[in-house]
A and B are shown apart, each in its own frame.
Chain A
Amino acid sequence: MAENITNKDIVKEENLVFKKTSLFTEKPLSYCPGCGHGTAHRLVLETIEEMGIQSETIGIAPVGCSVLAYEFMDIDMQQAAHGRAPALATAIKRLYPEKFVFTYQGDGDLAAIGTAETIHACNRGENIVIIFVNNGIYGMTGGQMAPTTLPGMKSSTSPYGREVISMGNPLKMTELVAQLPGTYYVTRQAVHTPGAVRKAKKAIKQAFENQKLNKGVSFVEIVSNCNSGWKMEPVQANEWMVENMFPFYPLGDIKVPAEQ
């Protein structure tokens, strides 16, 4: 009998296992093929959909590749000046304490120009979620070196690889904010394999759930690829990320609430 089953028999509404969340707008994502931003967007939206908080969530879009996040997410959104998303999120959360407020930022936004805003918002313990997508490069502007670029990693402004003597050390933002008393939950995840995606989803959900507790910032870093900036094919970029990014940016929870 099994041999006679055709795709038409399987593709029916009652057999549906997974479909694109309805919180995505109809606009096609502007990201390069294989970019982790799309998956990160989806996990945030799926979390919001599952928690049933579409009308109670306000997101803050950054400057960078994901500047157009408000075009793709069917929720209320603001777009902040470069790096100022945590400051804007602070204002929104204080004005609407009952809303769920999150920022969605890249490494050029959060770890370079927005360092002060990020550290102070985390230190003040603002009750927000920060989603930090780290691909070690300025993707949108042409692959320039970012504070998170690895030692020896090639970018358009470090064509012979980042030299620590002249260009300094990379910045581990997530470990840095984990030291601050205002952060409640700090974790680092990735979205390159199905297992990693499921773990990242769990972490993002935990971060949004934490907002109900009023305990401080929940900070989720997602180590991602930038195949255009790294000059690689998407699958190759993911492999490179596993070999090079993960030893420097190890995945896992960095700060978990004490009672867990």
Chain B
Amino acid sequence: MAKVKGSIVVNIERCKGCGVCVPACPTEVIALHDEVNGKGYHYAYMANPEACTGCANCAMVCPDAVITVYRMKVNE
């Protein structure tokens, strides 16, 4: 059965740490990092990358468009 695996790349220095992407993620992949970026914001990162399906919901709600989304089919 083909399975979908996804991944996101966050432009860390452009992330403002608003956290709007966190509740938007249906598989609870995203969290705000303990560390901060150059502007002092706790940036978004994939805390649970295994669960990402590449649905792009996080990118849809990101006000600063810092999230790039990738998705591929994997045959098990």
Point out residues on A near B: beta carbons under 8 Å.
1-2, 5, 7, 9-12, 15-21, 24, 28-29, 31-39, 42, 191-194, 197-198, 227, 233-235, 238
Contacts and interface: CB of A to CB of B under 8 A. Distances in A.
26 contacts: A1-B76, A10-B5, A10-B72, A11-B9, A12-B70, A15-B72, A17-B69, A18-B67, A19-B69, A24-B65, A29-B64, A33-B16, A33-B41, A34-B16, A35-B63, A37-B63, A192-B20, A192-B61, A193-B24, A194-B57, A194-B60, A197-B61, A233-B19, A234-B19, A235-B18, A235-B23
A39 B72 contact: no
A238 B20 contact: yes
Contacts of B69: 16-19
B65 A21 contact: yes
Given A194-B24, A234-B20, A10 B63 contact: no
Nearest to B46: A7
Contact of A34 (B18, B55, B60): B18
Interface of B: 3, 5-7, 9, 14, 16-20, 22-24, 41, 46, 49, 54-57, 59-72, 74-76
Nearest to A4: B74
A36 B60 CA distance: 11
Nearest to B73: A15
Contact of A39 (B5, B61, B74): B61
Nearest to B56: A18
A9 to B, nearest CB: 7
Given A19-B68, A33-B16, A238-B20, 18 more contacts: A5-B5, A5-B74, A9-B72, A10-B6, A10-B70, A12-B70, A16-B68, A16-B70, A17-B70, A28-B14, A31-B64, A38-B64, A191-B61, A193-B24, A194-B56, A194-B61, A234-B20, A235-B18
B74 A38 contact: no
What 8 A-B pairs are tightest by C-beta distance, nearest first?
A38-B63, A34-B18, A33-B16, A33-B18, A194-B57, A10-B7, A20-B65, A234-B18
Contacts of B56: 17-18, 194
Nearest to A192: B61
Contacts of A12: 70, 72
A5 B66 CA distance: 24
B74 A29 contact: no
A24 B7 CA distance: 23
